[in-house]
Amino acid sequence: MNDIARMLAQRLSLGLLTLFAVSLIIFLGVSLLPGDAAQAMLGQSATPETVAALRKRMGLDEPAYIRYFTWLGGILRGDFGISIANEREISELIAGRFANTIFLALMAAVISVPIALTLGILAALYRNGFFDRTVNVVTLSSISTPEFFVAYILLLVFAVNLPWFPSLSSVNPDMPFFQRVYVCMLPAATLTLVVVAHMMRMTRAAIINLLASPYIEMAALKGIPRGKIITRHALPNAWAPIINVIVINLAYLIVGVVVVEVVFVYPGLGQQLVDSVQRRDLPVVQACCLIFAATYVLLNLTADILAILTNPRLLHPK
Amino acid sequence: MIGVGKISGAGALSGAAWREFRKAPFTAQFGLAVIVFYILVAVFAPFLTPYAESEIVGSEFEVWGGDFPLGTDNLGRDMLTRLIYGARNTVGIAFVTTLLAFLLGGGGGIMAAVLGGWPDQVLSRVVDVLMSIPQLIFAMLLLTIFGTSIPVLILVIGVLDSTRVFRIARAVSVNVVVMDFIESARLRGEGVPWITLREVLPNIMPPLVAEFGLRFCFVFLTISSLSFLGLGLQPPTADWGSMVRDNATLITFGDITPLLPAAAIAILTIAVNFVVDWFLHKTSGLKDEH
């Protein structure tokens, strides 16, 4: 048990360190701006007075390390600063949008995880057969396809040619749950198609790797039935890689929503990020990037921790 | 396969290559044919197109047929012309970016393995941190800061992608660096550049070549996504990602024209993936089998 606690503490501190480094990179990146942020945002034609005023408002007249800790301290209290473009509180601007993004990602995950695991395990069990080859070609193709291509094809077929689903996924907070699911169907289906291929290939590789290990062969030679080999011998060791696959793909989903949100005009954080990048609204870009990066780091950390917790070798110490 | 036996001349080389091609599975043959086709289109773009790259030749959104085989775009430019020039711009920039990523990441990865010790530690930790930020998000942040121009785009994506190349180059080099011939090269007094380029690099070529194909696809998709989001290649350069974005409204009327550039992207990445898949099987002796 001590081993587990030590490894968990190690991973957690490493994760925190990574988060700290990420926040530093996002902050320093903006400080590296040629000239400074105020000048860049106002453009070449700005008068020195307006630039100076904006500098003062953004706190740019203070040294970088003080600005960094002020920024970080604010974020820890849920205060991301004020948007340059529309003068609103960033936290208020993005809170609802982040919830929408999470909803879409979770919905895609609920659909895609069972499909991917089933396909992956089947492909591994019947590897090199017709089923495996077909799935291999199909998933290789869908991995190589840009997300917006998949999204527009679905839109063309299921919103224009067959008017089953709305082409714009506009949601609002008062929407009933099932209405919301219905409106989000096409974006969720797009994400599912993209992510199932990844997840399925990773599951297949993990299972094949496992079935090739000597102890499985030993179990088969002892005459244990095939079903029991899978449930008693293979699965306990397979949980770690499978959970890993799921969580890594969740992380991918949270980030992969950007393009899909833009196609379906879904009011999520990705859309906000793209808008802010176009307006060069740096505080909002910083906040969105930090949230995306932090979610990504935290999910990968979760994958690490779950892998440790489900490792049979650590759970049954000698 | 690279360097099969002794090859006496260009004729024998193409003969051997042709025999390999005939033996390849259908997916790989299809992939190679598509890649050759794209390269030809990209190289001969000015001779294949009826109009100039950003010439406005008609009214907006004209239908297929007549003077415009695939209609015109949102500004009245010929769709087919822009599609063909897109091969040159989008694929060319993705290729240059991948090359940059391999120069930086490949060089860095092998050097880290050869040097070992603290240079390896420092480089590896920097790469770990850079990789912990999702690439598309990081690219958007950097493009906001440095503005969107072609050199900046190539640099940003190239540097971000080099972290992945670094990982794989280092991982395969570590296995080579412990071998006897490296030891004897060190004892001979060869410097780090010699060991990197003449001793390690030739031995890790097959995985790196396969990785080049995969990285190219990834870079190509990233740049297309950025262009689609309006943050990549800027007008009036013809580019497949932004062509989808500019003409997307047509889709709501059931017109498939905006899907053509997207399909052009998809077909090329699928083709490259098929070839890489075949190449991996050939060089690794079927990875999946045990």
Angle at A69 between CA A66 and CA A71, to 5 degrees: 105
Nearest to A144 among B129, B241, B266 (CB): B266
The distance in angstroms from the start CA to the end CA of chain A is 11
Q: Residue A51 and residue A47: Cα distance in Å, rounded?
A: 6
Quickly state the pLDDT bin for A198 (edges 50, 70, 90).
confident
The tens digit of pLDDT for each residue in B233-264 reads: 877 788 888 888 888 778 777 777 888 888 88
Which long-range contacts (C-beta less than 8 Å, at least 24 apart) are formed by B33-42? B33/B271, B34/B267, B34/B268, B34/B271, B35/B268, B35/B271, B35/B272, B35/B275, B38/B87, B38/B91, B38/B268, B38/B271, B41/B84, B41/B87, B41/B88, B42/B87, B42/B88, B42/B91, B42/B92
pLDDT of residue A34: 56
The tens digit of pLDDT for each residue in A74-110 reads: 888 877 777 777 777 788 888 888 888 888 888 998 9
Contact present, B192 and B115 (Cβ < 8 Å): yes
Q: Examine residue A71 and state whether it is found in any structural domain, yes or no.
A: no
Quickly state the pLDDT bin for B10 (edges 50, 70, 90).
low
Quick one: average pLDDT of B106-111?
A: 90
Q: Examine residue A161 and state whether it is found in any structural domain, yes or no.
A: yes
Q: Is B272 in Cβ contact with A152 (below 8 Å)?
A: no
A140, A288: one domain? yes
Quick one: average pLDDT of B32-41?
A: 89
Q: Token match 């699965």: residue?
A: A235
Q: Examine residue A75 and state whether it is found in any structural domain, yes or no.
A: no
Quick one: average pLDDT of A210-231?
A: 85
Q: Is B217 in Cβ contact with A145 (below 8 Å)?
A: no
Q: Examine residue A81 and state whether it is found in any structural domain, yes or no.
A: no
pLDDT of residue B157: 92
Q: What residue numbers bound the domain in which A140 lies?
A: 97-315
- Sorted by sequence, the CB contacts under 8 Å of residue A160 that are 6+ apart come out as A167, B251, B252, B253, B254
Query: Which of A 248-267 lie inside 8 A of B, CB atoms?
Result: 251, 255, 258-259, 262-263
Nearest CA in chain A to B220: A146
A185, A258: one domain? yes
Q: Is A148 in Cβ contact with B134 (below 8 Å)?
A: no
Question: Above 50 in pLDDT, residue B5?
Answer: no
Q: Is A286 in Cβ contact with B141 (below 8 Å)?
A: yes
A46, A129: one domain? no
Instruction: Specify the number of domains making up chain A.
Output: 2
Residue B251 DSSP code: G
Question: The domain that contains A115 carries what CATH number?
Answer: 1.10.3720.10
What's the CA dihedral at A38, A40, A43, A47 to 10 degrees? Answer: 30
Fold of B27-284: MetI-like fold (1.10.3720)
pLDDT of residue B48: 75
Asked if omega into B236 is within 30° of 0 (cis), the reply is: yes
Structure tokens at A9: 């503490």
Angle at B224 between CA B218 and CA B229, to 5 degrees: 125
The share of chain B scoring above pLDDT 90, in percent, equals 10
Nearest to A262 among B229, B252, B262 (CB): B229
B/e letters for B120-147, b = 16+ CB within 10 Å, e = fewer, are beebeeebebbbbbbbbbbbbbbbbbbe
Quick one: average pLDDT of B151-163?
A: 91
Chain B touched by A292 (CB under 8 Å)? yes
Question: Above 70 in pLDDT, residue B13?
Answer: no
A292, A238: one domain? yes
**Total Cβ atoms within 10 A of residue B289:** 11
- Sorted by sequence, the CB contacts under 8 Å of residue A24 that are 6+ apart come out as A68
Write down the mean pLDDT value for chain A: 81
Write down the mean pLDDT value for chain B: 82
Q: Residue A233 and residue A227: Cα distance in Å, rounded?
A: 10
Q: Examine residue A10 and state whether it is found in any structural domain, yes or no.
A: no
Q: Examine residue A101 and state whether it is found in any structural domain, yes or no.
A: yes
Q: Which amino acid is at B49?
A: T
Could you give the count of Cα atoms lying within 13 Å of B179 in the half-sphere of its Cβ? 13
Residue A127 DSSP code: T
Could you give the count of Cα atoms lying within 13 Å of B199 in the half-sphere of its Cβ? 26
Q: Residue A243 and residue A307: Cα distance in Å, rounded?
A: 7
Q: Is B134 in Cβ contact with A277 (below 8 Å)?
A: no
Q: Which amino acid is at A199?
A: M
Q: Examine residue A199 and state whether it is found in any structural domain, yes or no.
A: yes
Quickly state the pLDDT bin for A186 (edges 50, 70, 90).
confident
Nearest CA in chain B to A217: B290
A233, A158: one domain? yes
Question: Above 60 in pLDDT, residue B6?
Answer: no
* Optimal mutation site among B124, B130, B145, B214, interface A, most CBs of chain A within 10 A: B145
A109, A48: one domain? no
Q: Is A258 in Cβ contact with B132 (below 8 Å)?
A: no
A53, A179: one domain? no
Q: Residue A74 and residue A70: Cα distance in Å, rounded?
A: 6
Q: Residue B72 and residue B54: Cα distance in Å, rounded?
A: 11
Q: Token match 């993990």: residue?
A: A206
- Sorted by sequence, the CB contacts under 8 Å of residue A171 that are 6+ apart come out as A100, A180, A183, A184, A266, A267
Query: Which of B 86-115 lie inside 8 A of A, CB atoms?
Result: none
Q: Which amino acid is at A16?
A: L
The tens digit of pLDDT for each residue in A145-163 reads: 888 888 888 888 888 777 7
The tens digit of pLDDT for each residue in A18-69 reads: 888 888 888 887 776 655 666 666 666 777 777 777 777 766 667 777 878 8
Q: Is A22 in Cβ contact with B134 (below 8 Å)?
A: no
Nearest CA in chain A to B28: A137
pTM summary value: 0.83
Quickly state the pLDDT bin for A318 (edges 50, 70, 90).
low
Structure tokens at B97: 């970016």
Quickly state the pLDDT bin for B94 (edges 50, 70, 90).
very high
pLDDT of residue A76: 82
pLDDT of residue B16: 76
Q: Examine residue A57 and state whether it is found in any structural domain, yes or no.
A: yes
Residue B196 DSSP code: I
Quick one: average pLDDT of B155-174?
A: 90
Question: Above 70 in pLDDT, residue B171?
Answer: yes
- Looking at CA atoms only, how far is residue A234 from chain B in angstroms? 17
User: Angle, nearest 10°, between helix axes A235-263 and A269-279?
Assistant: 50
Quick one: average pLDDT of A207-232?
A: 85
DSSP-derived 3-state class of residue A210: helix
A274, A201: one domain? yes
Quickly state the pLDDT bin for B288 (edges 50, 70, 90).
very low
DSSP-derived 3-state class of residue A169: coil
Nearest to B221 among A146, A160, A277 (CB): A146
Q: Is A274 in Cβ contact with B229 (below 8 Å)?
A: yes
The tens digit of pLDDT for each residue in B172-182 reads: 888 888 888 88
Structure tokens at A70: 């002020």
Q: Residue A229 and residue A313: Cα distance in Å, rounded?
A: 18
- ipTM topping 0.85: no
- Looking at CA atoms only, how far is residue B163 from chain A in angstroms? 15
The share of chain B scoring above pLDDT 70, in percent, equals 91
Nearest to A296 among B134, B141, B277 (CB): B134
